[in-house]
Chains A and B, each alone.
Chain A
Amino acid sequence: MTGTDGGAGRDRSTPGEGRTDGGAVDDHLRTDGGTGPTSAASSTPSLLGSDVLKIVALMAGIYLLFTGFGVALGYGTNGIVNTLQRVTFLAAVYAMAVLALNLHWGYTGLFNIGVAGFMAVGAYAMMMLTAPPSAPVPGLGLPFWVGAIGGTLAAAIVGGIAALPALRLRADYLAIVTIAFAEIIRFVFRLSALQTFTVFGVRMGTGGARGISGADPDTVLTDLLFSIPIVGSEVVIPIPGTGTGILIPSVLGSISTTLQGMGVVPNVVRGWVYALVLIAVVAGFYWLLTRIGNSPFGRVLKAIREDEDVARALGKDTARFKIKAFMLGCGLMGLVGILWQGSRGFINPTENFLPQVTFFVWIAMIIGGSGSNTGSVLGGALFAALLFEGPRFAVNVVDANVELGSAPSTISAAVADLLGGDVTSMAAYVMGNIDALRFVLVGVILIYLMQNRPDGLLGHRKETAASIDLSRPARTRSRGPTDPEVAADGAGTGAGSDAGPGGDGQ
C-alpha cells in the first residue's frame, strides 16, 4: 500500500515519463478502490448477524458448561435451571455495566474508575423515591418507574457534577476524581447522620450502614411481563351468546407450567423471567450505544479518545461532547445499579457498591476488548460465567468427586508441601480458598490478555464511526473507479485522456 503511494508521488511530479508506471499503479489503485468499499458495504449487515451469533454461541457454551456442573453435582432439574438463571442474570448485568463503561473508556477515552459510585447513586435514588413513607427508612413511596427514571437521571446529574471540574483535567486525573467520588458517595450513604432526615417536612433517609429497602425491580418487572396479554397472561375471547369463551394460553404461562411440571419451583421461573427482562435491557443498551457509535457524535468521541487537540483544532467543542458522553454513561450505570444491586429491593453500602465492583466491570471490558459493543457483551458474559461463578462450581465438582484430605491452613504450608512433592495438599488449599484465589486467576488472565490480546477477545475490529456506508458514493463511482493519476494529470497537464482507457474501461 505504502509502496504504491510512493510510486504515485513520483509519477505525479513527472507526468510525462510516468505514463507506463502510471498504468501499473492504476491497476493497483483500481483493485484497492474497487474491493475495499464493496467488502465493507457487504460486511456491515453480516457483521451484526455474526456478532449476535457469537453472543448466542457463547451463551450456549456457558449453559452447556453449567449444566455439566449441575449434573456432576447431582442437581435436579430445579437446581440446574436455577444455576442457569443465576449465570444469565450475572452475565446480563455485567454486560450492561460493561456497555456503559465502554461508552466512557472504549469510545471517548474517559478513564472512569468510579463505576460503583454511579451505580450507587442510581440505586439509592430509586430506593429513596420508592420506599414507603411508613418504612423504618422512609421514602417518598413513588412507583418503581418514577424511581427508575429518577435514579437514572440522578446518576447522570451526579456524573455531570463530577465531570465538570474533572474533564478539564487530563485522563489520569479524571480517574483519581472518579474513584474518590465513588468512595465519597458510598460513605455519604453510610453516614448515620443521613439515616433519616427531613426535607421540606418530608421524612426521608439513606438508612446509613443498615441500608434501605424500596421498590423491587425483580417483582415489578416480572409482574409486568406476566400481566401482558398473550405474553404473560392468558386471554379469554368470549363467544357471543354462549357465555363461555376461547382461552388463549400465555406464552410465559405455558412455559412456566411446563417447567413446574418438570419440578422447577415458581420462584425460579420468576427469576428467569427477570433474567429475560435484563437480556432485553442489554439489547436496548447495545442498540443505543451502537447507534451512538455509528454517528457523527460517536466519531467525535472517537477523535477525542485518539487526540483531543485535533478534534478541537477541527472545530469541535470537545468539553461538551465529553460531558454529554460522561453523563449518558453515568446515567446508564445508575440504571444498571438499580437493576443489578437493587434487584431484590434492598441495598446497603457495606455489601453493594464496593470499589471492587468497578474493577470487575473493568476486567470484563478488557477481556471483551474496549471500543466494541459486541466485545463488551461477550466480556461481561465471560467474566460473570467463567471467572466469577465458574471457579466455585468447578471446585465443588472436584470436591464432590475427589478425596483430597484436609487442607493446610496457610499458603506457605501448602507451598512447602508442594515443594515436598505433595500435590494434593496444594490442591486442597486451592479448593478451600477458591473464593479468594479466583481473583488470582483473574489477575493471571488479565496479564496474559494484556500481553497477547491487548485488543480483547475479538481482536482489533474495524467498526466505522458513521451513520452510513463510507464507500465511494455512486456519483463518484459512476465515473469508473477514478484513478488519482488521471485526475492529477487532468488538472496538471490536461493529458488525462491517454491514461484513461487502461484505468477505466472495465
Chain B
Amino acid sequence: MSEVDADADADASPEPGSGRADADGPAGAGTATRTAEATGAGGREDAAGDRPLRVEGLAKSFGGITAVDGASFDVERGQLTGLIGPNGAGKSTTFNLITGFIQPDAGAVYLNGSDVTGRPPYELADRGLVRTFQIARELSEMTVLENMMLAPMHQPGESLWRSVTPGPRRDVQAAEEEALERVWETLEFFEIDHLAEEYAGSLSGGQRKLLELARALLTDPDVLLLDEPFAGVNPSLEERLLEHVHELRERGYTFLLVEHDIDLIMENCARVIVMHQGQILADGVPEAVRADERVIDAYLGGDVE
C-alpha cells in the first residue's frame, strides 16, 4: 500500500509532468558568452525558447549612487543560474528591476522573447516570472493553507461579484476544491503539510523559506527568481531546500538565484554570474568564474587556492 502511495506522492507533486522534461538541457552546458576563459558548449544563441529571461543594459541609480550600471545577461531554460557579488554589488536592485518592483533608468528585460521592461509585478507573475524575497515574507496573520491558496493565478473567486452571487459562487468553490488539491500536494512535496493549519507567522525561518518557495510554485511560473533563499536556514534544511530546487529544475523550471554563499553557488549552479559595482564582472560555468582573475580580485579573494 505505502509503496504505491509513495510513488503517487512523488508523481503528484506540483505541476505533474506538463512536458517540461524536454527543456531539461544537458547540465553544465552553460554557454559562457561573456567570460573569455570559459569555452563552454558554445552558442545556442538563437531562440528565446532556450533563454526565457534576458536582460540588456539594465541601469538604475538612486540619487548619486549608481546601483546597477548596464547589466546584461541571460538565463537558460531548465537551469540553475547563480547571481553572486559582494554587498552593494547591485544584485537585489537587479532583482527588483527584473521583477518590476522598481523601474529601470535604462535597459530592457525580455521574458520569453517579449519586452517586459517596467511592467508591474503582477503582470510579470502572470507571464510566468515569479520571485521570492530575501527575508521570507510570509503573510503572518494568515495560515499556511491561506498563504498557499492565495497563489494560484486567475482564480474565478478573485472577482468580487462572483464570490458573492449565489450561482457563480458554486464555480468559485469548485475552483477552490481544485486548487486545494494542488495546495496539499505541494505542501506534501515540501514536507510542510503538518504545518498547514498554523499561522505562517509562527513558522521557523527555514519553514518560511519552504513556504515561500512552495507558494511561488503554485503560480505556475516558468522562471523563479529566488532572493537569497538559503540565508538564515540551518544546514539540514538548506540541503532539503536545495534538493527541492534541483528536483524542480529537473522538471524544467528555470531558476535564477541570488546568494551570498559562494561555495553553495559554485556547487549547485550550472552557470554563475558575478556582479561588482553594478556591472557584470564575469558570466560562465563555475570553474571558469572561479579562475577569473578579476573575480578573484573583486570578490573571492583568498577563497580560491
Contact = CB atoms under 8 A, between A and B. Distances in A.
Interface residues of A, number: 75
A465 B144 CA distance: 12
Given A9-B206, A484-B188, A504 B1 contact: yes
Nearest to A295: B163
B293 interface: no
Give the dominant DSSP class at B's interface: helix
A480 B5 contact: yes
B139 A303 contact: yes
A313 B99 contact: yes
B151 A500 contact: no
Contacts of A310: 133, 137-139
B2 A312 contact: no
Contact of A490 (B10, B99, B216): B10
Contacts of B3: 490, 496-497, 500
A306 B9 contact: no
B150 A482 contact: no
A475 to B, nearest CB: 6
B125 A315 contact: yes
A486 interface: yes
A305 B146 CA distance: 13
B244 to A, nearest CB: 10
Nearest to A288: B164
Interface string A1-25: 1101110111011000000000000
Interface string B145-172: 1100111010111111001100001001
Interface string B95-124: 000010100000000000000000011110
Contacts of B215: 314
Contacts of A296: 149-150, 155-158, 163, 172, 175-176
Contact of A10 (B125, B159, B236): B236
B180 interface: yes
A314 B240 contact: no
B120 to A, nearest CB: 7
A292 B188 CA distance: 29
B9 A295 contact: no
Given A33-B194, A314-B122, A465-B142, 11 more contacts: A1-B198, A33-B196, A36-B196, A295-B169, A314-B219, A315-B122, A317-B122, A464-B146, A467-B172, A486-B6, A500-B5
| Top 10 closest pairs, chain A to chain B, by CB | A490-B6, A500-B2, A315-B125, A496-B6, A295-B163, A296-B157, A487-B9, A306-B139, A484-B191, A491-B10
10 contacts: A1-B198, A315-B219, A467-B163, A475-B181, A482-B5, A484-B191, A486-B2, A491-B247, A496-B3, A497-B2
Interface of A: 1-2, 4-6, 8-10, 12-13, 28-29, 32-33, 36-37, 40, 288, 291-292, 295-300, 302-303, 305-307, 309-318, 321, 324, 328, 462, 464-468, 470, 472-473, 475-476, 479-480, 482, 484-492, 494, 496-497, 499-501, 503-504
Interface of B: 1-3, 5-10, 13, 99, 101, 120-123, 125-126, 130-133, 137-143, 145-146, 149-151, 153, 155-160, 163-164, 169, 172-173, 175-177, 180-181, 183-185, 188-189, 191-198, 202-204, 206-207, 215-216, 219, 234, 236-237, 239-240, 243, 247
